[in-house]
């Protein structure tokens, strides 16, 4: 029976494996995204391998942030990934003096010298110089990740971008987008920022000496990224080693280092994995389930329908007055048109893509296209709020503007006249309004932390390549929601990796994020001591609450019923429209 060495690398987003013969020659390999279903993907990969090589004896070495859990549960030999990478260099590339590796959420630098142990450097809790940072760039630009390399090739100018944190980088990139900087220049600037971040953070006074070897997925797929590293390091291509399969280095090293471990039939490894999946231990720190089943969810949702915003259709035959509200945010534009009865007749929501003026113009175009004889549509008053309020008022001669928190309060008060607390959670901001006797008592907004915001959930869903609506639905029916605690988005990554190692499902993690957003909001941002501060009439709004698992988590944590409309993401624009209506009524009743 044949004996092989199998190296498996299960990271936060991908699974890589390499199969070696006894001479350490690669005879098979694969690289797949596991989308947090790593157990199922690993089982499928082993079963496929079984079909290829038949009954065989296998030694397994495993590495990666998720791989440790399998090593503990299945008796696989675990190797720390930088040790595995160093082993590949020492055995196959002895001329290398510096290894630079970049993964999805980490980066590493290893310095080799004769007669001494390798000097290993790793990034801390900042994802600035990693593949995830590059993926975020593709999302902001609205292009496929595969297009980035060709875009970067045609750049003309490098712009400064803060690569130390995804939050700061988004601000820089969005500003450059609004200045009409080309996508080629933007991508190249991000590549340069990543190179500067990695080199300055990890070298820390140690010279990067040739020959230099680049490995990891980003270097395998982005040739332009390597060029920017060489420019930062002032090295030529001839001073580099170009390895085969750079994205497989940790898996390859694990396979090499597994040669002295016990070999078992591949069929036995598969059976052990199936048993591990079927008998995953219950999580002792799991949180209460959000919904017992689909019937419970539908019953709960039906109770919320009383808060549905009233709607009507547009009529232009009698010169009926309508009132326009627009919420021009930093990343999205929301528009709501209402009639004299405050009934919604038109809504639209779209991303700005760095151009708030253009986004509003697109909304107006769609409004005109949706109305027959739109030239007779009478917009009696309009009001703007949000990030682009002053810009839109000046450009379109809008008569009214309103502070964003006041717009949200007006919308909430219209829906629930006895409102005691309004919580608005958007993608990157959070607003809380405490109300007493129909008047605002105090307001709170988040400052530098985005952990209580919607992007906290959306970013992870995108990392897992799961559509956000599906991710939200999965959270609703999780059987053992993970307790991810209250922490910064960056530090949350390590906690997620831990629960993934313990075998938590994607649904359990999704529900854990919903709980975490609420806890971060209440306890980190608002520093709430007692839920009674919120009163008994809580209204929630903002795009984050389109995810019903977040609203339900808030109810469970506070022990209070919350209200939300069927347009939570449009409530700022709805409030602005209500303000325009109110001003019109005042003016005509004077």
Q: Is residue 461 within 8 Å of residue 471, measured between CB atoms? A: yes
DSSP state of 559: T
Q: Is 229 in a helix, a strand, or coil?
A: helix
Give Cβ neighbours of residue 334 (< 8 Å, ≥ 6 apart). Answer: 326, 327, 347, 348, 349, 569, 570, 572, 573
Q: What are phi and psi of 110, to 5 degrees?
A: -125, 130
* pLDDT value, residue 387: 83
The predicted pLDDT at position 266 comes to 95
The Cβ of residue 41 has, within 10 Å, a number of other Cβ atoms equal to 17
The number of beta carbons lying within 10 Å of the beta carbon of residue 128 is 22
Residue 457: name the closest of 543, 523, 538 by CA: 543
Residue 137's pLDDT is what?
Answer: 79
Q: Are 346 and 291 in contact (CB under 8 A)?
A: no
Cα–Cα distance for residue pair 563/11, rounded to 1 Å: 40
**C-alpha–C-alpha distance, residues 430 and 455, integer Å:** 11
CB of 95 within 8 A of CB of 176?
no
pLDDT for 371 equals: 87
Q: Which among 80, 39, 33 is positioned nearest to 61, based on CA atoms?
A: 80
Which of 414, 427, 374 shows the shortest CA–CA distance to 546? Answer: 427
226: phi then psi, degrees, rounded to nearest 5: -60, -40
Looking at residue 147, what is its pLDDT? 92
Domain boundaries, the chain: 3-85+252-278, 94-242, 294-307+418-569, 321-411+575-588
Who contacts 390 (Cβ-Cβ below 8 Å, separation ≥6)?
401
pTM more than 0.85? no
Tell me if domain 94-242 and domain 321-411+575-588 are identical in fold.
yes
Report the topology of domain 3-85+252-278.
Answer: Nucleotidyltransferase; domain 5 (3.30.420)
According to DSSP, residue 263 is labeled P
**The pLDDT value given to residue 322:** 95
DSSP string, 59-94: EEEEESTTHHHHHHHH-PEE--HHHHHHHHHHHH-T
Residue 32 · residue 26 · CB < 8 Å: no
Q: What is the pLDDT of residue 283?
A: 45
For 294-307+418-569, CATH gives 3.30.420.40
Tell me what pLDDT residue 493 has: 65
What is the CATH architecture of 94-242?
2-Layer Sandwich (3.30)
Domain 321-411+575-588 fold is: Nucleotidyltransferase; domain 5 (3.30.420)
> What is the spatial distance between Cα 214 and Cα 235, in angstroms, rounded to a whole number?
13
DSSP-assigned letter for residue 477: T
Dihedral angle computed from the Cα positions of residues 580, 585, 587 and 588, in that order, rounded to the nearest 10 degrees:
140
Q: How far apart, in whole angstroms, are the C-alpha atoms of residue 381 and residue 367?
A: 16
Closest CA to 213 of 191, 190, 245: 245
pLDDT tens string, the chain, 590 residues long: the values are 789 999 999 987 789 999 999 889 999 999 998 877 788 899 999 999 999 999 899 999 999 878 887 887 888 999 998 899 999 999 999 999 999 988 766 788 999 988 888 898 887 544 555 666 787 778 778 888 889 999 999 899 999 886 555 544 566 777 787 778 999 999 999 999 889 888 888 887 788 999 999 998 888 889 999 999 999 999 999 999 988 888 899 999 999 999 989 999 999 999 999 988 777 655 446 889 999 999 999 999 988 866 778 999 988 777 899 999 999 987 789 999 999 999 999 999 998 766 788 899 999 999 999 988 888 899 999 999 988 899 899 899 999 999 999 999 999 999 999 999 999 987 667 888 999 988 999 888 765 455 556 666 777 777 677 888 899 999 999 998 988 876 555 556 667 777 776 778 889 989 988 998 888 888 777 778 788 889 999 999 988 898 999 999 999 999 999 999 999 999 999 999 999 999 999 887 75
């Amino acid at each position: 029976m044949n004996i092989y060495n199998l190296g498996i690398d299960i990271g936060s987003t991908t699974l890589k494996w390499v199969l070696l013969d006894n001479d350490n020659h690669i005879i098979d390999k694969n690289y797949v995204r596991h989308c947090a279903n790593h157990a199922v993907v690993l089982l499928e990969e082993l079963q496929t391998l079984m079909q290829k090589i038949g009954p065989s004896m296998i030694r397994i070495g495993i590495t990666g942030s998720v791989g440790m859990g399998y090593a503990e549960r299945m008796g696989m030999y675990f190797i720390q990934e930088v040790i595995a990478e160093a082993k590949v260099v020492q055995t196959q590339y002895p001329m290398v003096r510096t290894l630079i590796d970049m993964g999805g959420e980490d980066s590493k630098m290893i310095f080799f010298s004769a007669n001494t142990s390798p000097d290993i450097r790793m990034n801390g809790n900042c994802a600035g110089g990693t593949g995830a940072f590059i993926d975020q760039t593709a999302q902001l630009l609205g292009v496929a990740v595969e297009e980035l390399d060709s875009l970067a090739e045609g750049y003309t100018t490098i712009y400064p971008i803060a690569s130390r944190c995804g939050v700061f980088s988004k601000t820089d990139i969005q500003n450059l987008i609004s200045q009409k900087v080309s996508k080629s220049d933007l991508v190249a600037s991000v590549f340069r920022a990543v190179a500067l971040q990695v080199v300055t953070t990890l070298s820390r006074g140690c010279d990067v000496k040739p020959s230099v070897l680049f490995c990891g997925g980003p270097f395998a797929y982005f040739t332009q990224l390597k060029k920017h590293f060489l420019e930062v390091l002032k090295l030529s291509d001839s001073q580099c080693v170009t390895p085969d399969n750079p994205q497989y280095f940790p898996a390859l090293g694990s396979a090499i280092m597994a040669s002295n471990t016990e070999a078992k039939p591949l069929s036995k490894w598969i059976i052990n994995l199936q048993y591990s999946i079927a008998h995953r231990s219950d999580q002792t720190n799991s949180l209460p389930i959000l919904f017992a089943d689909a019937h419970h969810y539908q019953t709960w949702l039906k109770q919320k329908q009383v808060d549905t915003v009233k709607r009507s259709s547009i009529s232009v035959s009698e010169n009926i007055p309508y009132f326009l509200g627009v919420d021009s945010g930093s990343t999205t534009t929301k528009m709501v048109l209402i009639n004299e009865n405050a009934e919604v007749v038109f809504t639209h929501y779209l991303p700005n893509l760095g151009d708030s003026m253009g986004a509003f113009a697109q909304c107006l175009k769609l409004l005109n296209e949706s109305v027959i004889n739109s030239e007779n549509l009478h917009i009696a008053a309009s009001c703007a709020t949000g990030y682009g309020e002053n810009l839109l008022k000046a450009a379109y001669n809008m008569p009214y503007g309103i502070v964003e928190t006041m717009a949200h309060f007006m919308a909430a008060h219209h829906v629930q006249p006895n409102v005691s607390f309004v919580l608005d959670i958007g993608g990157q901001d959070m607003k809380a309004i405490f109300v007493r006797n129909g008047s605002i008592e105090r307001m709170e907004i988040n400052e530098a932390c985005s952990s209580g915001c919607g992007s906290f959930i959306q970013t992870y869903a995108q990392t897992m390549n799961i559509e956000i609506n599906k991710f939200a639905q999965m959270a609703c029916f999780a059987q053992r929601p993970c307790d991810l605690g209250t922490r910064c988005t960056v530090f949350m990554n390590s906690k997620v990796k831990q629960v993934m190692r313990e075998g938590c499902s994607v649904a359990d993690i999704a529900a854990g994020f919903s709980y975490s957003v609420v806890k971060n909001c209440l306890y980190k941002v608002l520093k709430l001591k007692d839920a009674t501060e919120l009163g008994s009439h809580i209204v929630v709004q903002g795009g984050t609450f389109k995810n019903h698992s977040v609203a339900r988590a808030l109810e469970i944590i506070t022990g209070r019923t919350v209200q939300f409309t069927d347009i939570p993401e449009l409530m700022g624009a709805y409030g602005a429209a209500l303000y325009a209506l109110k001003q019109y009524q005042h003016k005509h009743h004077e």
